[in-house]
Amino acid sequence: MEALGIDIGGSGIKGAPVNIGSGALLTERIRIRTPKGAKPTPVADVVAELVRAFQWNGPVGVGFPAPIKHGVVMMAANVSEKWVGVNAEELLSSATECPCRVGNDADVAGMAEMAFGAGKGQRGTVIMLTLGTGIGSAIYYDGHLVPNTEFGHLQMNGSDAEHRASDAARQRDDLSWKKYAKRLNAYLNEMEKLFWPDLIIVGGGISKQHQKFLPLLKLQTKIVPAQFQNEAGIVGAALFSQGS
């Protein structure tokens, strides 16, 4: 069976059709820059553009950078505050003329990794972190998701962790990989103290460069890059479209 997976991020919106039995992308992904301000209607227009680009007529799963309850956006950190209270499933279904199911972006990325990737078969507590414009978090216990965690907003030195340890923060502050690893390590130490995880999976755009910073970390927990790297959100969104 196939589904279209779409990953909405603070800087880009990307998607591709996915074989939900294997997690394989069926075509090259398409990425479109997130509209300035990331307001609901312009973002919905881009999602509709992706659906048309793939000539898609079927289920669509969408990862969105916010907590989602029953299709409704609960807060906004890296998109417009006008999203708060919007039923994203209704808006995107109307814009695309396809049935859309919307979930938190890190949660759905974690789905891909738990089903087919770095977390497959892992028992105990697994934390998936997506490092990009912000920090997305997902926590799985024995394969079961605890939805809508927002540990990118854990406080570090008086500000949200994602303002210090995201990939955007690394680029903004022009940090060397060594200095960035030190910041990230401090954040991950806090996550260890709170959850004592068995595995940490790092995804997001920065995961393509994991060799430059993961070996510099000093943690008790095993930490690995996402097997799907920055495509985990697309694959997981497609899985999520099925009610997984």
The CATH number that applies at residue 179 is 3.30.420.40
DSSP string for residues in 32-76: EEPPTT--HHHHHHHHHHHHHHTT--S-EEEEESS-EETTEE---
What pLDDT is attached to residue 244? Answer: 52
* Same domain flag for 21 and 89: yes
Show the domain range for 133.
Answer: 121-227
* Same domain flag for 179 and 220: yes
22 found inside a domain: yes
* Same domain flag for 145 and 204: yes
Q: Identify the CA nearest to 3 among candidates 239, 229, 233, 231.
A: 239
What pLDDT is attached to residue 204? Answer: 87
Give mean pLDDT, residues 236-243. 94
Give mean pLDDT, residues 166-176. 96
Give mean pLDDT, residues 138-166. 94
Q: Which helix (H) or strand (E) holds 106?
A: helix 105-115
Give mean pLDDT, residues 146-173. 94
Give mean pLDDT, residues 62-89. 95
Give mean pLDDT, residues 7-28. 95
Into how many domains does the chain fold?
Answer: 2
* HSE, side-chain direction, 13 A CA sphere, residue 232: 37
53 found inside a domain: yes
Which tokens go with 17?
């059709």
Q: With beta carbons less than 8 A apart as the criterion, state whether 35 and 80 touch.
A: no
Q: Is the pTM of this model over 0.95?
A: no
pLDDT at position 91 over 80: yes
Q: What angle do CA 208, 110, 160 make, to 5 degrees?
A: 75
pLDDT at position 243 over 90: no
Give mean pLDDT, residues 39-67. 97
